[in-house]
Every structure is written in C-alpha cells, then in structure tokens.
Amino acid sequence: MIPTPMPNDRPAEVERAQAWLTENESSLIQHLRELLTIPSVESEPAEGAPFGIECRRALDYVLNLGSAWGMTTKNVDGFAGHAEFGNGEPMVMSLGHLDVVPIGSGWKHDPWGAQIDGDYIYARGTSDDKGPTMAAFYAARALKETGANLPARIRIVFGCDEESGFKCVERYFQTEEAPDFGIAPDSGWPLYHAEKGIANIVVSAPLPAGNLNLISLEAGSRPNIVPDEATAVLQCSPSTAAHAQQIADSYWDKNLKIELSGDTIRLTAFGKSAHGSTPFLGDSAATRALRFALALAGPDQAKQFTDLLMLTHPSGAGVGIEGQDEISRDLTANVGIVQTQQGRLQFTINVRYPVAWKGEELRRRAENFLQAERPDYRIEQFDDSPPLFFPTNQEPVLSLMNVYEIEAGDGKQPGVMGGGTYARAVPNTVSVGTGWEGDGPAHEPDERIHISHPLKMAKIYAHMLYALAHAAAKK
C-alpha cells in the first residue's frame, strides 16, 4: 500500500488554470461534442490517412484547434500528431486516442449525435477516449492561457489506432522524442501502475462433422469486444431439425433465432457487447450459438461441440491458460472473432494475462495443452504486448498520487487493469483516471459521460501536468 502523500496547498498557478477552465467550460463541451460527431472507426486506408479518412478528419480537427490556440502542431503522416507549448529541454506528455471501436447494436441514442439527454452526453468515444483526451487538451490550454511558469514543455499527443494495434504510436516514436514523464488518460482513478499483458491467440479447429454438421460460424469484429451477434449454419437429419425447433420454442429466449429449411438450420444469436478485458460483463453471442449447437449434438459428437464451447470460457480454460498472480489476479480471455476459413473454425482469443507472467510462457502453456488435449487444434497466430508495471514508490507515480490526494482526498490507491493503454508503449508513462460513476461503459451501447465531468477531469489533469513538469526538471 502506497503511503498517503502529505497534503500540500494547490499551487497558485494551478488555481489560475483551474479558474480559467471553469470560465471556459462551455467551450470545452462544444469542442468535445464536435469531435464526437466524427465517426472515427478504423477503415480502409487512404492517402495521408492510414486508418481511414474519418480518423484523419478527427486528427485534423484537434490539430487545427491547437494551431488556433497558438500551440506548435505536427501531423506525423496521419498516424498521430501533437500540439505543444512551452520551452525547456524536459518534456511532459499526455497521450489520448481519437479512434473508437465500432458502434455495435442496441443504441437508444445516435452514436455520432453527441446528444445531451438529461445530464449526460451520449456518443461513441465519450468515455473512451475522446472525452478524456479533450479534457487533457484543455488542461494544457489552460496552463498556457494563464501563463503558468513551467520548467518543461507540455505536449498533447493524439493517436489514431489505439483500439486496433497501436501502430500509431509505433510510427510516432520512430521520429518523435519520448517524454521525461507522461500520462495516458484512459483508465481509473487515481492511476493504474500495472497493466496486464495482452495477447491475441488465433486458434483453429476442425468443423464438427457427423449427424450434426457445423457448416459455418461467424461472430465479432474486433478481438477486444465481446461479440453481440453470431450466425451459424448447421446441417442435420429431419428429426434433429424438428428437435431444434422444439427446444428453441421450449427454453431458449428471444436472443436466439432459428430458420429451418429442409436439413439446414440457420441460427442467429444475440448477446451484449463489453470490453474484452471484462468479458464477464458481456454476453457472448458466439457462446450462445455454440451452446445451442451442443444441445442438438448427440452423444457421439458431444465432445466436439464441448471443446469448441470451452474455447469461449472467460478464464482461458479452453486453451489451458487459466491462472493468476498476486499483483493483478486472474487471467481473462475473450473470444472476440470467430470465422470459418478453409474448412476450419478460427477463434481469435484476446487474453489479458497477469503482470508476473511472460508472453512466451503463455504461448507455451497453450501449445502444450492443445497438443495433449486437442491434437486436431492448432495455434495459427500469436501476438503479444508485454505487461506494464511501475513501483509505487517512484516517479511519476509519486507526483501523480500527491496531486490526486490534493484534488480528491479520498485515499484511493493505485490500481491494476486488464485493459491496455498507450502507457504500455511509451517510456516513463502511466495511465490515469477518467470519468466517474455513471460514465461509460467503454465499448458498449449508449456510451456516455456526465456533462460536468470533462471540466472536473481537466482540472485534475492541469494539476498533474504541472506537477510532472516540475518533477521532470529535477530528473
């Protein structure tokens, strides 16, 4: 447990910046809503737009704001960009992302409307991550507008590919300098000093064949989202088809629909999306589809369908990788994509593994398990992003915790997360909190943020950037 920091008075320069933010709250909300209307989901690349024209349009929008505010801006080949002000050799950075996940289904509000309904703004990206990114941008602007005496430059970096691979920051740091200290506003309060490792394991399996043939199964669009819809085609005997209709009518709910055509069953399953780091908060449509198929399978095929169903278990038990450590606790696994290719099923399993583990160990465990228990399964692809861990008695954690205690005073301790932020890809950087109860949920329908929270976040971020600038000058 990290010691509670000694309380300090809020510096006068921070108070001036926070007062400026209060006076300009309406402008902050306006610019956030304008950014939210840009549907910046990754799409086909175009010239100068490696992640699609809408991601590029979002990047142009914020860089134009930075230029209008008198900051120095730079577009790094459409992958990312930054807005900076100040002088001095040290540099403090805030990194946020402009790309968002696909909208999915189940929205009551226009996902690109930035509608204010009651006390909330609804749109994809409000909480992850356009809301916090704009709040950090305004925090930097406030320090600039009020003439804070900073011994370091402040740079706000905007990425366009956080949700699907981090290629934006990989390209950015090929030519741009790393920060002395940085924050990534994309997690929970006060900060997360550890992030689980993230691996995508693509496992292929044979299509079950016998009295019940699985012809195809398709589900999901991204590894890090619980799929909310799945479609399957099964071929069977007339008696099995009749049984399918019977059990569908008897004990399956509206989230599963079947269409019968001779010996063919067309199955559509509906679930609920959730972030891939918390698959237990969602309802996997792929799991629903496979559970129904298992209910139809006879004793001679039960193992075939049970093994497939187990691949969707959120503990990773289906590939033999379940486990935990003392720091970050349980591994989680989300089957985000299922595809039928070349006569086999491919499952993309998004794994969040404990910080004490290594990716090579994870892969070896999966390979050994499949070889012993599922010899006709194979690993087709394995991608790994190693865990992040910062000791709580070192910078930048110490300065950030001191700021948080001054601003919030609730004694919260640094946390550990299953999600992955830019912090894992940037030296000397940790992820910090965003939003409060009622905001979010990330990657789910009707994503939202309370209308008062962008200002509240911006005030804390302004203090954090100020504190890190002074900590960087002492390095």
Q: Which phi and psi (to 5°) does residue 113 adopt?
A: -90, -20
Please name every residue paired with 264 in a beta bridge, in sequence order, or none if there are none. Answer: 235, 261
- Residue 414 CA to residue 392 CA, distance in Å, equals 8
> Measured at the alpha carbon of residue 328, what is the angle toward residues 326 and 332, in degrees to the nearest 5?
120
Pairwise CA distance, residues 50 & 170, whole Å: 13
359 token code pair? 């990716």
Q: Which residues pair with 75 in a beta bridge?
A: 81
**What are the distances in angstroms from CA 116 to CA 99, 199, 435, 438?**
21, 37, 16, 14
Sheet with 229-236, side-by-side order of all strands: 256-261, 264-270, 229-236, 212-219, 332-341, 344-353, 197-206, 378-385
In one-letter notation, the amino acid at residue 319 is: V
Mark out the alpha helices in 10-129 (DSSP H runs): 12-23, 25-36, 53-68
| Dihedral over Cα of 354, 358, 360, 364: its sign | negative
Residue 411 Cα distances to 18, 462, 475, angstroms? 22, 20, 27
Q: Which tokens sit at 225?
A: 């989202």
Residue 309: exposure state from Cβ atoms within 10 A (0-12, 13-18, ≥19): middle
| Of 428, 472, 433, residue with least CA distance to 453 | 433
Sequence-ordered list of residues with C-beta below 8 angstroms from that of 149, at least 6 positions apart, any chain:
13
Measured between alpha carbons, how far is 115 from 105 in angstroms, rounded to an integer? 17
Token output for 178: 């790393």
Tokens (6 digits) for 207: 């299509």
Helix H or strand E segment including 366 = helix 359-373
Residue 315 CA to chain centroid, in angstroms?
19
Place of tokens 């005030």: 459
Instruction: Tell how strand 264-270 and strand 256-261 pair up.
Output: antiparallel
Strands 429-433 and 197-206: unpaired
CB 448 within 8 A of CB 126: yes
Residues that are catalytic: 99, 162
CA distance readout (Å), 1 to 5, 129, 191, 305, 373: 12, 29, 14, 46, 41
In the structure encoding, which two tokens stand for residue 31, read together?
């610019």
